[in-house]
Structure 1
Amino acid sequence: MKAASIHALKKELANLDRDELLDACVRLAKYKVDNKELLTYLLMHADDEQGYADAVCDEIDQQLPSAHHIHKKTMRKIVRWMDKYIRYSGNKETELRIRIHFCRQFVERKIRFRSCKVSANMYATQLKKIEKAMEKLHPDLQFDYRYQMQGLDTHLS
């Protein structure tokens, strides 16, 4: 069975009454953790983007090792996790706060990639994603975020 388009699903959801819609959401949440996490964001965190970003940043702090080096497996896991929570929000400012915090932790904890080019490339990719997200913001906000980024790109050396 092929999945219906978003447009068709939206049209069908509009025809449901309140109780049927509630049942559909609960069933979605039961079958996949990602659906439950997205629903949690939409219902409990969407109105407080700053608090949401702070909670994600706190979780990054807990996941990053305190050692001066990081394994590529650990970094991949953190980046995948971070990307998922950024996707839930969809807000560019939240994305920037989280990605800059992630990179800032590498500088503050003096984490080095040693000779692991893969980890260095993953870090460089985060810097590129920050730049790309920044382009979509107002110039005043761009200035603020560029200030926060000072020193991050020299960490690759």
Structure 2
Amino acid sequence: MKAASVKEIKTELNHRSTQELLELCLRLSKFKKENKELLTYLLFEVENEEGYVLSIKKLMDEQFSAINSKSFFYVKKSVRKILREVKKYIRYSTKKETEIELLLYFCEKLEAFRPSIKRNQLLKNLYNRQLDFIKKKIPTVHEDLQYDFNKELELLPYL
């Protein structure tokens, strides 16, 4: 089965009643955890973006503290998993400020992580790629925020 395009889906949804749309959303939420997470964000978190960002930062803190640091193999695996989840939460929010703030926080946590990531090339590359990505995203936000984000970015060294 070939999936319909977004335009086709949008036109079809315009022809549906409110009750049918409600049933479609509920049915969609039953299939994948990501669908349910996105609906949760759209219904409950959109108005409180700061609370959303804080909850993700708290989740990152918990995940970084739970990393098995006995071997760089486990550290790499865990850091990649954390970044993958952060990127997923960033996709839910369409705000560039949220994206930059969460990636800056991820880089701060990674740079402060012990054992130091300076001893592992893969982790250094991952960290530096995120810093480059943040630098490209900063010009897309408001000037006041650009200044604040640039100040935060200056505190993070390239490895």
Q: Return the letter of the residue paired with 1:77.
A: K
- Paired with 2:100 and 2:71, the residues of 1 have a C-alpha distance of 24
Tell me the TM-score normalized by structure 1. 0.90
User: Cα distance, 1:111 vs. partner?
Assistant: 4.9
Question: Where in structure 2 are there 5+ consecutive unaligned residues?
Answer: none
Q: Return the letter of the residue paired with 2:16.
A: L
| 1:18-33 superposed matches below 5 A | 18-33=18-33
User: Cα distance, 1:139 vs. partner?
Assistant: 2.3
SS at match of 1:34: helix
User: Cα distance, 1:69 vs. partner?
Assistant: 8.2
What is the aligned counterpart of 1:103 among 104, 107, 127?
107
Distance 1:8 1:82, change over 3 A: same
Within the alignment, does 1:153 sit opposite 2:157 as a pair?
Answer: yes
Q: Are the counterparts in 1 of residues 110 and 127 from structure 2 also a CA contact under 8 Å?
A: no
What is the aligned counterpart of 1:123 among 124, 127, 134?
127
Q: Are the counterparts in 2 of residues 68 and 110 from structure 1 also a CA contact under 8 Å?
A: no
State the Cα RMSD in Å: 1.9
Q: Are the counterparts in 1 of residues 63 and 82 from structure 2 also a CA contact under 8 Å?
A: yes
Within the alignment, does 1:112 sit opposite 2:116 as a pair?
Answer: yes
Higher deviation after alignment, 129-138 or 59-68: 59-68
- Paired with 1:60 and 1:25, the residues of 2 have a C-alpha distance of 29
Within the alignment, does 1:89 sit opposite 2:87 as a pair?
Answer: no
Q: Which has the higher contact order (CA 8 A, sep 6+)?
A: 1
Higher deviation after alignment, 78-87 or 130-139: 130-139
Q: Return the letter of the residue paired with 2:17.
A: D
Question: Where in structure 1 are there 5+ consecutive unaligned residues?
Answer: none
Q: Return the letter of the residue paired with 1:135.
A: P
| 1:5-44 superposed matches below 5 A | 5-44=5-44
- Paired with 1:106 and 1:23, the residues of 2 have a C-alpha distance of 42
Offset from partner CA, 1:16-44 (integer Å, 9 cap, x none)? 11110000000110011110111111001
Distance 1:68 1:113, change over 3 A: farther
Tell me the TM-score normalized by structure 2. 0.89
